Chain A
């Protein structure tokens, strides 16, 4: 199964879609396209079509302050991962919800959980099973960026999708 993921990522690389497989993208500027230069919406594969066409390089969903709704621009990303999980039932994923530093640490654990839970729901809708995905929260405890500014905060309001072996 690990091999399958690897080959999927390799294909993605060959297509010139990403720098490294596990690197998450920078947050999109407000209103901008989420991922310039990347194939945003891989066509839904017909039954039997190899998983190799799924782009799994993007692993993050970013949010507005105090919000947990998933913006439309992230649907293709979640669609790709949901499809991959559906086609690879042995694969498991940890979804880590994160928040910016503002506000109560424990409330941010709950908010991060909601963000991760939203991703879980979407992935299940896209074909993953409950057993494959566990949503958890890191709250504001593991910031990617530590400045006290919106530039940093927008990167920290994030859900990350990690496959087993990556966490």
Chain B
């Protein structure tokens, strides 16, 4: 290694150790197949923006595992129009696609960015749009451009502009945080000296259900993300109140209460009203999760002697057992297209993320961790976020639902756990 490379590497490490302390940092493990080589050129005039838009776009695309960023150094004047593009040059750099654009300040003080996504081989424009935004929306705008590029190139909706929620434990302090899907721009929704668990996004992306132990027992809350303080509980019955799950239309909340004995699943309005019991067993019934069509609920039950996953009609009725391999299968989550069941299975003492194809019932092991838990699908179903630990510290990790591509997101000196991936914006 040359001294120059070493110096650059050290500089990079120092950068990570500095201001990133409170942010999630991302480490990509493994690579995906058939990555699209793309050149994201600097946008003319973007140096006046608070952050480099093209850097964020490039990072988003690379992190998805579907793209490979092409080196864009050595370009003197970044092209802004298709006529200015030296296509043979980019073809020789092995780019299939490229992004050009420009940023400017509008007379009213707002910012504008125009960009074009180009097909290098056909020397033609695939698409392009303009965004008007405020300085505070720079990151979001970059994520939206990355979403546009992702969708044009893969045919699937991008999730870069979506948000994630997770719990951070730092010493005696628990925090419910919401951040951009890349872990940046984190905001605290709730800070407590008692545990917080099971955050669940409402389908409208504006509210969050969670469990708080501030009264020395699990109590269920639904909080608006714009609220400045914790609202009144939606379920605070005798015993424990936990495991919230939203119906896809956002009109119902499934949760687990113990007011009538063992842990049973109940349905209620998001304000806690109209309570009715859904499961009737002497067993543990917990971890409800609605199917995307709202017709069924998956849940964990030990009614057969060990915790296994079952499915039942959301209106009540006879459950059907879904898992048969192993003696500990928990935490069911159904993919947004309803085709995959992700869950955690104990295999030889290790807790691993599994994916079951619901049609063929084929099971794939997606992770090889020791304590993997709390899976959460990205709204496009492409990635599953989950909690794992490295060197005794909780971190978040993501795996593509085909198991090929993995990455880790961690915060130094803190435990990060229980990720919940929010819905698409504008849904």
Contacts and interface: CB of A to CB of B under 8 A. Distances in A.
Contacts, number: 100
Given A106-B242, A110-B286, A113-B263, A94 B216 contact: yes
Given A102-B371, A148-B392, A167 B261 contact: no
Interface string B218-255: 10000000000000000000111011000000000000
B218 A117 contact: no
A110 B346 CA distance: 17
Contact of A106 (B213, B256, B258, B261): B256
Central interface residue in A104, A106, A114, by most chain B CB within 10 Å: A106
Contact of B213 (A114, A135, A141, A148): A141
A129 to B, nearest CB: 14
Contacts of A101: 371
Contacts of A148: 392
Contacts of A137: 217-218, 239-240, 242, 258
Interface string B318-344: 000000000010110000000000001
B313 to A, nearest CB: 21
Contacts of A99: none
Interface in B262-307: 262-263, 284, 286-287, 300, 307
Central interface residue in A101, A111, A113, A167, by most chain B CB within 10 Å: A113
A138 interface: yes
Contact of B240 (A104, A109, A142): A109
B195 A136 contact: no
B166 interface: no
Nearest to B287: A106
B409 interface: no
Contact of B346 (A103, A134, A138): A103
Q: Size class of A's contact patch?
A: 20 to 34
Interface in A147-167: 148, 167
A105 interface: yes
A96 B216 contact: yes
Central interface residue in A94, A110, A111, A113, by most chain B CB within 10 Å: A110
Nearest to A141: B195
B197 A105 contact: yes
B265 to A, nearest CB: 11
B198 interface: yes
B351 A102 contact: yes
Contact of A114 (B243, B284, B300, B331): B284
A17 B26 CA distance: 54
A107 B418 contact: no
Contacts of A106: 197-198, 242-243, 256, 286-287, 300, 330-331
B216 A167 contact: yes
Contacts of A134: 217, 238-239
A88 to B, nearest CB: 21
B161 interface: no
Contact of A136 (B218, B284, B351, B373): B218
Given A96-B216, A109-B218, A103 B351 contact: yes
B170 to A, nearest CB: 14
A117 B259 CA distance: 11
B374 interface: yes
A138 B307 CA distance: 19
User: Interface on chain A toward B: helix, strand, loop, or mixed SS?
Assistant: mixed
Interface string A82-117: 000000000000101000011111110111111001
Given A103-B328, A104-B330, A117 B261 contact: yes
Contact of B287 (A107, A138, A142): A107
Interface string B407-419: 0000000000010
Interface string B366-390: 0000010110000000000000000
B198 A117 contact: no
A74 B238 CA distance: 25
A139 B351 CA distance: 17
Nearest to A148: B392
A105 B418 CA distance: 9
Interface in B39-61: none
B287 A104 contact: yes
Contacts of B287: 104, 106-107
Nearest to B300: A107
Contacts of A135: 239, 258
A110 B284 CA distance: 6
A132 B287 CA distance: 29
A107 B300 CA distance: 8
Contacts of B256: 106, 109-110
A96 B217 CA distance: 8
Contacts of B418: 105
Given A110-B262, A117-B258, A117-B261, A104 B198 contact: no
B103 to A, nearest CB: 44
Contacts of A111: 284
5 contacts: A103-B373, A104-B287, A104-B300, A109-B218, A137-B240
Given A105-B418, A106-B330, 15 more contacts: A96-B217, A103-B328, A104-B287, A104-B307, A104-B330, A106-B198, A106-B286, A106-B287, A114-B263, A114-B284, A117-B262, A136-B240, A138-B213, A138-B217, A141-B197
Interface of A: 94, 96, 101-107, 109-114, 117, 134-139, 141-142, 148, 167
